[in-house]
Structure 1
Amino acid sequence: MEPETPNLICDIARQAGQAIMEIYQGRIDVEFKDDKSPLTAADKASHDLIVSGLRKHFPDMPVLSEEGRDIPYEQRRGWTRFWLVDPLDGTKEFIKRNGEFTVNIALIDGGTPVMGVVYVPAQDRMYLGVAGEGAFRNEGDGPFEAIGVRSPDPSAGLTVVMSRSHPSPELDEFLEKIHVAEALAVGSSLKLCAVAEGKADLYPRLGPTMEWDTAAGQAVVQAAGGKVLRMDGTPLEYNKEELLNPYFVVTGDAGRGTGDEIQDSD
């Protein structure tokens, strides 16, 4: 990875966020995809801007985006490095105008996110994770500051972050097995960022997500010292034939009270 790559991706994400906010501040017209999920002009505008920016700066690297998902596995199975994009993660939060939506851009290498940018347009906040270099956050025009996961005290209970829009019976059952001191409802990939920056200890996702929903956030979590694990304890992987993720758990410090519950929850 070239040294300037993270800055380029942050710039592209910020430009996409600006395009989203122009629409956010006006009338929001909603369409629905075949799977009944919502789609807005902001999704489309962000997708177009990100894809054109990536192709300009990285013309030889493939791009897989939620709004351009129909690339056959026969074509992408040979990809070793590619960009994985969610132009507007949290469309439901966007429609509700609660500000909890993000722009997600991740670099996948060998099935693993090695760099990720999560930009929060409504708050002008950027999260960046680079494997081997660390995780960082900035606000507005301020400098990037290092972030990291925290070590929980299981005896005091865990702070658990969960989806604002996608509760599930499986999640309720999972939470019954652990000592929850505080539960935070958050939208989009901000849930992963909450673990990465030490605001939460655990994010169990026992409901459907797609690869583009999690890749950038996973890169930030891993760079911050955390883990994103499937229920069998193995890391979440990318560019599968089926782009639907299995259930997973994001842990801040899997060795200190947040990881033992994963394999016990089957």
Structure 2
Amino acid sequence: MAAAALVVGTHEVGNFQVGDWLKVAGIAAGVLLYTGVFASLGLLISSCSQTAKGALISSLCAWATMVWLVPNLCVHLAAFAVHGDDGRLVEANVNRLRVAAEERGWEEMSRFIGEKGWGDRQWANWNLEWGTWSDAVPRLAEELESLEDREELFSFAGRVMHRQFAPMERGAYQIMANHVQQRRNAVELGILLSCISPLAPFTYMLTGIARTGVEGELHFRGEVRRFKRDLVDYLDAQLAQRRMWQPVDPEGFPYFRYGGAAVWGSRVPVYAWVLALYVVVFFMAAYQALIRMEP
């Protein structure tokens, strides 16, 4: 309740929409359920303990296990169970793929430049350590006197880049997609295992309502990957039309637009039911323990 009151107190209530009030109600419900979990657990421990000292020690152990030990242990178990490549190795593989594509592309361009007799020009002997070979093309074109030579240079460079770009970027995208899927599987397994502790569904419920939790981040990352794929397709189409070195049309250029977020995460009701299940299980166990204690 305090969390919901804090949200209301730090915002202008007059500007609240229906979705905002639903979030406040969801936060209040989550806090009540979480409080009910530990109230029922405390009742269970008290009914099973012979002394107040034993009940206190058992309560502290239960709290430490559920709040600290189980959530942290589940994260490591999930990472161990879903083994994936290290992020630095994935980045190195992507860079290796792009460097190899750059080298093949510049080899084709170098042969073409030599065949045309432009090898004595300043930018004809481009070093890939200076940048991508596509940076050398407009510089070399400025040194060519004939407009036909410039058009031929741009035309050939466009064909080379088109052959290089699409396989390179799609290969890099596939490597990153596989890595992201491995990480997502580890996260999903970690979420599932950590729900052994009532702290996990409570945390996921509140962050899901605020759209700042794991589900919201995965949704955002998915939108970013979609935008990258659209950008690669756009550049590939530009290369197919040999317009790589022409001014970009702002009307057709893809822009990142983040949207599609619901009022709260789709799993929020699931986490609420998990908390409610904890309340029922602990309360019924405490009730049975109290019945057995009666003479």
TM-score > 0.5, shorter chain as reference: no
- Which is richer in helix? 2
What TM-score results when the alignment is normalised by the length of structure 2?
Answer: 0.19
Which structure has the larger Rg over C-alpha atoms?
2
- Which is richer in strand? 1
